[in-house]
Structure 1
Amino acid sequence: MLLDPDAESGVAYELCQVVGRAILPYRTSAAFGTAFFFRSGDDPVGEALLTAADVVGSPGGELGLRGSVTEPAGVAPDAVPEVEIVPGWARYPGDGVAVLPTAGLHRYAGDGGWSWRVQPVPAGIAAGPEAVARLGADAASAFVLAHGVREDGSRPLEVAIERVVRDGDDVRITGELPAGYVGAPVFVVQADAAGDVSLYCLGLVLPGADGHQVATFDRIGAVLPGTPGDA
């Protein structure tokens, strides 16, 4: 669905309110990216951190923290070193996805005297095959929540309003995204056959030039039950 500019601005604002605290900056010695919390059910056991496989794997990985995603105020560090988290990332290069079970993140926080205060993207809005199939060659509005990279090195939370299309099995964002956006979640608004309009998390941004492929949730869902380690 291609929205008018006012509607796009409204959706972008609401996304920041509803899932803004799901989004965190991630970096390694070789790359900047974005990761986000996803919960497959009401049980925290079903919670995971997701990003693009190409973002993780280099030394020096760390997850940046904002004051709004931890409590109490002033206790958590500025970043969580990847080496402190067990289990670590499970990489699925064939699908372009990396998954980090969050049990280790919660243990790390508890040992440090703080806790997470996040808004995981819920499974109820993850785009299934039907939502992906409704995309076509005509551009639809897409919303990317990410931590960009400013010239001073800061990583503010941003929303990019883009266009997404589907060509066969490939779903692509047509524009080039700034540094730090790889791994970020992509959202769309669609009307179903009954005319009901819903918000969907389409998937996550993959690396690219002259546009970016999106790893859609029908691919991501297939690897979420996996165990840590390359697959």
Structure 2
Amino acid sequence: MPGQSVLRDATINAVMAHAGRSTLAFKAAHTDRQYATAFWFNDLVESTPDSEVIRQYLVTAAEATRHDTAELTLRPELCEPVMSAEKLLMTDFADGWTVLGDLGVAVMPTAGLHAHGRRKGWSWTTDEITDGLAAHHEDIAGIGDGPLPAYILGHDVGETSGERQQAVVVGHVARGQDGHIRWDSTVPEGCVGAPVFTGDELGGDSFKLVCVGLVLPGEKQNRIATFDLIRTAVREAAASATVPTAEPITESAAEPGPDQGTERRPSWWRRKPRKR
């Protein structure tokens, strides 16, 4: 890549192109606390040259799921047709999640969300973190103790109105002395549970977009729950039936490749809703 600023902007553009509609802002209902971000993840069960069989989950930090009723923010670009209501209340919220061991991560099969949309006459139009985006063991093993540019895609909390706009937060990840991957600076309120991305240079003008994992709660240098461990834990839980059954979905095979862009972004910017 010609320079770090170009790689930064290209990575942000790739994050938005492949995962801009993957995040979902939520909080504990009827209170101004416990703000967090979840995201859609497609676990690849089977792949053929013509199709893929996946199981789909919402993923977030386990600590953010411990309340009975949650308020989800429905961005216009997440549903078709666009809903007039901007909020969705989910009752029995905590019961819908399965905590993945001691990773600090919880997952929820998305079948209930899809069923709710069908009952109301609309459908979800999301992006998902796919197997091609989610980090594998070799991606995580390549992260050392030096700072690596990284990007949180989450929903912060507006200072006055509490609006949950999508934000890309630019920072770094590195391997701590305890062996865990950590974020190097403060995580904005509302971004706990959000996915974290890197743009790994491949040489020339190419790079590989990788979703390293998700941000866990913490006061500073938040730990990142990495996708190599999340993927394994999801499959082990599904095999042992500790995760409620997620119906396999068959779809045409398509994985994002390296991407680059030229539009410059500030170090932290909020995303405007797409025009429909």
Same fold (TM over 0.5): yes
Q: 1:87, 1:174 → 2: CA distance?
A: 33
Q: 1: distance between equivalents of 2:55 and 2:95?
A: 14
Q: Point out 4+ residue stretches in structure 1 off by more than 6 angstroms.
A: 84-87
The equivalent residue for 2:135 is: 127
Question: Partners of 2:166 and 2:105 in 1: how far apart?
Answer: 21
Per the alignment, residue 182 of structure 1 pairs with 192
Larger Rg: 2
Which residue in the other structure is 1:52 paired with? 61
User: Is the contact between residue 81 and residue 122 of structure 2 (CA under 8 Å) also seen in structure 1?
Assistant: yes
Q: Tell me which of 46, 59, 62 is aligned to 2:71.
A: 62
Over 3 Å counting, the alpha-carbon distance change for 1:140 and 1:39 in structure 2 is same
- 5 Å-filtered alignment, 1:79-158, equals 79-83=87-91, 88-92=96-100, 94-151=102-159, 152-158=161-167
Q: Is the 8 A contact 2:73 2:86 kept in 1?
A: yes
TM-score by length of 1: 0.89
Aligned counterpart for 1:33 among listed residues 36, 52, 57: 36
Q: What letter is aligned with 2:42?
A: R
Number of equivalences: 225
Q: Is the 1:87–1:101 contact (alpha carbons within 8 Å) kept by the matching residues of 2?
A: no
**Does the aligned pair in 1 maintain the 2:42–2:130 contact within 8 Å?**
yes
Q: 1:161 and 1:119 mapped to 2: Cα distance?
A: 21
Percent identity between the aligned chains?
32
Residues 82 and 88, structure 1, Cα contact 8 Å, conserved in 2 = no
Matched, 1:21 2:21: yes
- State TM-score, norm by structure 2: 0.75
- The question of whether the paired residues in 2 share the 8 Å contact of 1:84 and 1:108 is answered with no
Distance 1:202 1:101, change over 3 A: same
8 Å Cα contact 1:86/1:104 also seen in 2: no
CA contact (8 A) 2:26 2:73 kept: yes
Report the alpha carbon displacement of residue 23 of structure 1 after superposing the two structures with TM: 0.8
Determine helix, strand or coil for the equivalent of 2:91: helix
Q: Is the 8 A contact 1:36 1:185 kept in 2?
A: yes
Which letter maps to 2:99? Answer: R
Matched residues in 2 for 1:228 and 1:62: separation? 23
Q: Over aligned residues, Cα RMSD in angstroms?
A: 2.4
Q: Residue 50 of structure 1 contacts residue 99 of structure 1 at CA under 8 Å; is this kept in 2?
A: yes
Unmatched tracts of structure 2, length 5 or more: 45-51, 245-276
* 1:66 aligned partner, one-letter code: R
The higher relative CO (CA closer than 8 Å, separation ≥ 6) is in: 2
